[in-house]
Structure 1
Amino acid sequence: MTLTDFLVVSDIASAINACRANDSFSPKKFFAMVGLSKKSPPEIEKIFMILDQDKSGYIEQDELQLFLQNFSKGARPLTTAETRAFLLAGDKDGNGKIGWDGWVTRQRGSSPKVLQPCHVFIKR
């Protein structure tokens, strides 16, 4: 299973292009551009599982730094500042990792009814 099983290739390319410059990555904008904000919870869970490269149940800092490369092999790594901000946004218990609960929270943003990728994270 790959991200392109859930997301449109042209949307991914546009989102990667929009954050090509260092320190230009915005999780909220990126997830909206790739269409994650319109995905169902089961689809978002499958995407989380793809992004959890080591299958630990969490997305750790090293996985976040290479986050964009999950979407496109030629994408740049996130900067230290981008990685830290992304982690802080999803690390709901301060353990230095994003679990499923934090991912879901990140996806939903302020509205619990509408999923907005990268606004909610849920731990298992």
Structure 2
Amino acid sequence: MPMTKVLKEADITKALTTFKAPGSFDYKKFFQLVGLKGKTAGEVKAVFDILDKDQSGFIEEDELRSVLKGFGPEGRDLSESETQALLAAGDEDHDGKIGADEFAKLVAQA
């Protein structure tokens, strides 16, 4: 399913443009700009499923690195420090990956 089935294309473009520069990523601001904040639990889960490229039930570190590309082809890879910061913010059980519930909590913090 394309991300535009859940989020508005204009919001996705605005959010990706805002965080185009390496080192600029702020997940809270990104989730707000992209329109994810305020979506239903089902919609947040749908976005999680899109970002979980291997459908393992988790967003692993390599999937986190390319999280912006999951929102649109013009997205960039996160830097190592941005990836680690996002993982640290969302990985409550410290297993090195973010599950659907952890992702929902991460979005709710935005």
Task: Render the CA deviation track for 1:43-77: whole Å, top value 9, x for unaligned.
Answer: 11111111100000000000000111111212210
TM-score relative to the length of structure 1: 0.86
SS in structure 2 of the partner of residue 59 of structure 1: strand
Aligned to 1:82: 82
Q: CA separation in 2, counterparts of 1:21 and 1:53? A: 24
Q: CA separation in 2, counterparts of 1:50 and 1:29? A: 20
SS in structure 1 of the partner of residue 77 of structure 2: coil
What's the offset of the Cα at 1:31?
0.5
Q: Does 1:40 align with 2:47?
A: no
SS in structure 2 of the partner of residue 36 of structure 1: coil
Aligned to 2:58: 58
Identity, in percent, stands at: 43
- Provide structure 1 residue ranges, at least 5 long, that are not aligned to the other structure: 110-115, 117-124
Aligned to 1:69: 69
- Provide structure 2 residue ranges, at least 5 long, that are not aligned to the other structure: none
Greater RCO structure (CA 8 Å; 6+ sep): 2
Which one has the bigger helix percentage? 2
What's the offset of the Cα at 1:88?
0.6
TM-score relative to the length of structure 2: 0.96
Aligned to 2:49: 49
Runs of 4+ aligned structure 1 residues displaced above 4 Å come to: none
Q: Aligned residues, how many? A: 110
Q: CA separation in 2, counterparts of 1:34 and 1:23? A: 18
Q: Does 1:101 align with 2:98?
A: no
Aligned to 2:26: 26
